[in-house]
Structure 1
Amino acid sequence: MPIADKQQSIQHLFWRAGFGATPAVIQRESHRPIRKVVHDLLHSHEAFAPLAVVDGESPVDRPVLRKLVREGTVDRVMLRQKIKDDTEHLRDLNGLWIERMASGQDALREKMALFWHGHFACRVRNPVAMQHYLNTIRQHALGRFGDLLMGVSKEPAMLQFLNNQQNRKNAPNENFAREVMELFTLGRGNYTESDIKQAARAFTGWGFSPDGQFLFRENQHDDGPKTIFGETGNFVGEDVIRLLLAKKPTARFVTEKLYRFLVDDQAGNLATNPRIDALADRFYSSGYDISDLLETILTADWFYEPAYIGNRIKSPVELLAGMQHTLSITFEQKQSVMFIQRTLGQVLLYPPNVAGWPGGRNWIDSSSLLFRMQLPNILLQAGQVNIKPKEDGDVNTELLARRGNRQMSATVSWTTFEQAFDNVKADKLPDALAAYLLQQPLGPAQRALVLKRVKPESTHSEQIRSLTAAIMALPEYQLC
């Protein structure tokens, strides 16, 4: 099959391995071999930097707080203030991560952290625990899947979310063991109910201390023999992780999910796909080296075939961070970033359930598509917000994202963006901008539509701004 032209290929790479790129970066990288561009994305010169908005508080869980209230040992006014503060800290952490994505720094790490956030979906209301969980998936996003799996499995946020804090030898709780197998590693059909029950016994005693550290509570651990996947031993939680990594279906399950994220989320049944077979075998043989798997995919000729370019609907976070990165957009109010995410159906740190966001065509319905197409006018030309966010049943996101019909104040840094098109003649501007902003050329009808937004007497700069807003409002801009 044919391969896309170089500029289109580079844009495709930066959208799938990041959140787009500025025109200057696209122009520069289009002169370099794809393999070298991918190498640089995988091996950023920047040292890993944790995200931090809160420090020094205990990730004690809400049931404990409610118990203290019932006992009269916690002031209710102070409790309400703590809940409010926690919610605002989570909002700030959300916004800080979006800013990091939009910065373009270490873009592949942040894109993969977004993937792992959906894979290892977790949602608790304590900002200390969520901040630590987020930094764990970011730190290991490009490393070894085994390290990532072990790290996330021992996160207080995950242990609380999946009820393992209540997993004790005399009353085993199977929730954590079940989700580790079904959603994190093997996928359905590759384990038995007995495997889950026995693994739950191995995970007894895994919990966290009041100061938010992983804690193995030996007196709550079932130290008897357990049989998991046909092997018998006095297994503990770490042994279960080892047994899961030893099973090839784990490599296959993770590879399929990553393939849908990076290549084709409408691929259909991949169970007998030889391409996935080869990728999964390599992933397993490499010791679950995530960077090696990514490099194999992102440098493959088939990755740049036209069938895979512009075939994915941008997730709300990809859309938002991509627009911010392209035009260096900054928001005057933190609520605006939450409002956009909530209206479009993806709020970071608030996945809908343990399975994460369904993605793909589920991102689009009549309400969200309308807002997606209105968003460029709202942000770039001070348009009005005339739509309500989706109901998600969470009072925290409702309060922090409430905007009514007020203007959403944002600042756009046009200067750098415009410089890339300074020497483009007026009659060539629509196609030049579309070649950068879209993954497919403008059709005659689209071209006529965007030209209606340009006033004949406008300056070159004004034409660029009007055309950019018009092209971003096209349905095709929703694709990457």
Structure 2
Amino acid sequence: MADSLLKNKHLLWRAGFGVGINQVTDLKNNNTRTLLNELFKEDLFTEITYDTPDIDPAADYMNSSAPADKKKEMQRINREQNNELNLNFLDKMVNSKEQMREKMAFFWHGHFASRVANPRFNKQLLNTIRKNALGNFRDLLFEVSQAPAMLGFLNNQQNKKDHPNENFAREVMELFTMGRGNYTEKDVREAARAFTGWGYDKEGNFKERKNLHDEGSKTFLGKTGNFSGVDILNLILEQKATSRFVTTKVYKFFVNEKTDQDIIDTLSNNFYNSGYDIKKLMTEIFSSTWFYDQKNIGNRIKSPIELMAGIMRILPMHIQNPENLIVYQKLLGQMLLYPPNVSGWPNGRSWIDSSTLMLRLQVPQIWSGLRPLEYSPRQDDDINMGMKSPETALNKSFKNPNITIDWNRVEKIFENKKTEDYLIQNTQTLDINSVKNFSDKSTKMTIINLMSTPEYQLM
């Protein structure tokens, strides 16, 4: 296989969501540098939104005195709007030319994990992340830290002088910036005092509630002053540990879960010295020769969203009931806007257990209409969104997504091409003969069978 094909395929999976059907023809001859420039191209930014009309925020149906039917209605509308946001984000991953922006946004979506019922707040946070995805980490951190979804999720609305709530301050340091071991419990307490009064109104505007802010002197990371929340974030960004923590997480997600300390030293120093320029960091990674080393290719297990988006990019499809794609997200264990906890989604082997592996291998056949989905529908439980056991994730109204795939176009594009070279990252372990013996030699069956192999689970 041409070396450039292998490199280009690797780049498209890591810096995006895999090879798109319209990229197959030129993939072999395309220069990797040209492809990289295309991936980084940024169009005019467009927000992800939903069409279901909002309920008047003044009519607060979720307060304790509201009648039950009103609350139910509110929950239904929230769910519909969140589902629309979810599917519109997935659609961007599949169809946007700005693959790198959406891939980076997907990464930040797990890094700055939040889970709130309010779709308006979800929309705002999602678009903040997408807008700054390849911008500056400083701007991203400030905007996320003042987003109502995050302040609400981490209880900072309840953080008041004389009664500080440490949750927000702790997670900002532990999960978003420096990582454990680079601050003390006293730093957490002092930072929490500095963030007192940070909150938001019903409309989703950030509010510094001065009367709730602790004006006293604070000592944080060895410095003393009458610090505000803004000062705390600035002090955190001055720490080289912040650059190192973020760079390491980026490396594990985009390159390899086994880290190379020398490479991370270089990357994190450059990231720090660039003033946290995300685009520069990602360009350095994807332009490096080490990124294309054999050990970094085909070594990552696709997350459920990457798996689904990848299939949707290479197989041109019309989906009649896209809302049912959310059922697949639940069953496979990764539902957009719904991370399992404040740490976001775990990666790697945690995606695979006996039930998810079986379903992963069957998705290509189910979506091609060759087999039914064999998980028995049970009542959905809204409390844990079916996260505990995959079977509970299906509700009574479940129907297949009703997908029509344009196989004629696929056959034309793959004519005289080895399909496995385009679909599988590491073809060395693939037993292509048994894949072909198993199928009727048609391009359609070969592709479905290739997608049903363990090798297709890797990227």
**TM-score, normalised by the number of residues in structure 2:** 0.93
The corresponding residue for 2:280 is 292
CA shift at 1:388, angstroms?
A: 5.1
Distance 1:316 1:358 in 2: 12
Q: Say if 1:109 and 1:142, in contact at 8 Å, map to a contact too.
A: yes
CA shift at 1:453, angstroms?
A: 1.6
C-alpha distance after superposition, 1:278-325 (max 9, x if no partner): 000000000000000000000100111111111000000000011111
CA gap of 1:443–1:219, structure 2 versus 1, over 3 A, is closer
Distance 2:97 2:410 in 1: 18
C-alpha distance after superposition, 1:134-177 (max 9, x if no partner): 00100000000000000100000000000000000121000000
The corresponding residue for 1:214 is 206
Distance 1:231 1:26 in 2: 56
The corresponding residue for 1:283 is 271
| Residues 247-258 of structure 1: pairs in structure 2 closer than 5 A | 247-258=239-250
Counterpart pick for 1:337 among 325, 329, 338: 325
The corresponding residue for 1:17 is 15
Aligned to 2:374, what secondary structure does the other structure show? coil
The corresponding residue for 1:470 is 449
Counterpart pick for 1:318 among 293, 300, 306: 306
CA shift at 1:59, angstroms?
A: 6.8
Bigger CA drift: 379-388 or 235-244? 379-388
The corresponding residue for 1:33 is 31
The corresponding residue for 2:440 is 454
1:409 aligned onto 2:402: yes
Counterpart pick for 1:327 among 312, 315, 318: 315
The corresponding residue for 2:422 is 436
Letter in 1 for 2:64: V
Cα root mean square deviation, aligned: 2.4
Aligned to 2:224, what secondary structure does the other structure show? strand
Bigger CA drift: 138-147 or 77-86? 77-86
Counterpart pick for 1:180 among 172, 176, 181: 172
CA gap of 1:30–1:452, structure 2 versus 1, over 3 A, is closer
CA gap of 1:59–1:360, structure 2 versus 1, over 3 A, is farther
Letter in 1 for 2:323: Q
Residue identity (%): 42
Counterpart pick for 1:91 among 83, 86, 92: 83
Counterpart pick for 1:48 among 16, 21, 45: 45
CA shift at 1:396, angstroms?
A: 7.5
1:6 aligned onto 2:4: yes
CA gap of 1:26–1:294, structure 2 versus 1, over 3 A, is farther
Distance 1:59 1:373 in 2: 44
Distance 2:241 2:114 in 1: 23
CA shift at 1:446, angstroms?
A: 3.8
CA gap of 1:317–1:388, structure 2 versus 1, over 3 A, is farther
The corresponding residue for 2:389 is none
C-alpha distance after superposition, 1:440-472 (max 9, x if no partner): 2266744223332216xxxxxxx1111110110
Letter in 1 for 2:343: A
Letter in 2 for 1:434: E
CA shift at 1:232, angstroms?
A: 1.0
C-alpha distance after superposition, 1:59-92 (max 9, x if no partner): 799xx855x333xxx2321121011110111111
Question: Which 5+ residue runs of structure 1 have no aligned equivalent?
Answer: 456-462
CA gap of 1:38–1:443, structure 2 versus 1, over 3 A, is closer
Counterpart pick for 2:150 among 158, 169, 173: 158
CA shift at 1:56, angstroms?
A: 5.3
CA shift at 1:29, angstroms?
A: 4.6
Letter in 2 for 1:28: D
CA gap of 1:407–1:91, structure 2 versus 1, over 3 A, is closer
The corresponding residue for 2:360 is 372
Question: Which 5+ residue runs of structure 2 have no aligned equivalent?
Answer: 387-391
The corresponding residue for 2:291 is 303
C-alpha distance after superposition, 1:91-127 (max 9, x if no partner): 1111111111111421111101110011000000010
CA gap of 1:95–1:403, structure 2 versus 1, over 3 A, is farther
Letter in 2 for 1:69: S
Counterpart pick for 1:360 among 333, 348, 367: 348
Q: Say if 1:58 and 1:211, in contact at 8 Å, map to a contact too.
A: no
Distance 2:195 2:379 in 1: 36
Counterpart pick for 1:111 among 100, 103, 108: 103
CA gap of 1:211–1:443, structure 2 versus 1, over 3 A, is closer
C-alpha distance after superposition, 1:2-21 (max 9, x if no partner): x9810011000000011112
Letter in 1 for 2:421: A
Q: Say if 2:24 and 2:413, in contact at 8 Å, map to a contact too.
A: no
Aligned to 2:44, what secondary structure does the other structure show? coil
Aligned to 1:227, what secondary structure does the other structure show? strand
Distance 2:248 2:58 in 1: 36
Aligned to 1:121, what secondary structure does the other structure show? coil
Distance 2:108 2:57 in 1: 22
The corresponding residue for 2:412 is 419
Letter in 1 for 2:318: T
**TM-score, normalised by the number of residues in structure 1:** 0.89
Letter in 2 for 1:354: V
Distance 1:255 1:241 in 2: 18
CA gap of 1:303–1:392, structure 2 versus 1, over 3 A, is farther
Bigger CA drift: 442-451 or 149-158? 442-451
Letter in 1 for 2:437: L
Counterpart pick for 2:64 among 60, 69, 82: 69
| Residues 134-149 of structure 1: pairs in structure 2 closer than 5 A | 134-149=126-141
Distance 2:376 2:162 in 1: 48
Bigger CA drift: 406-415 or 156-165? 406-415
Distance 1:331 1:395 in 2: 28
CA shift at 1:30, angstroms?
A: 3.9
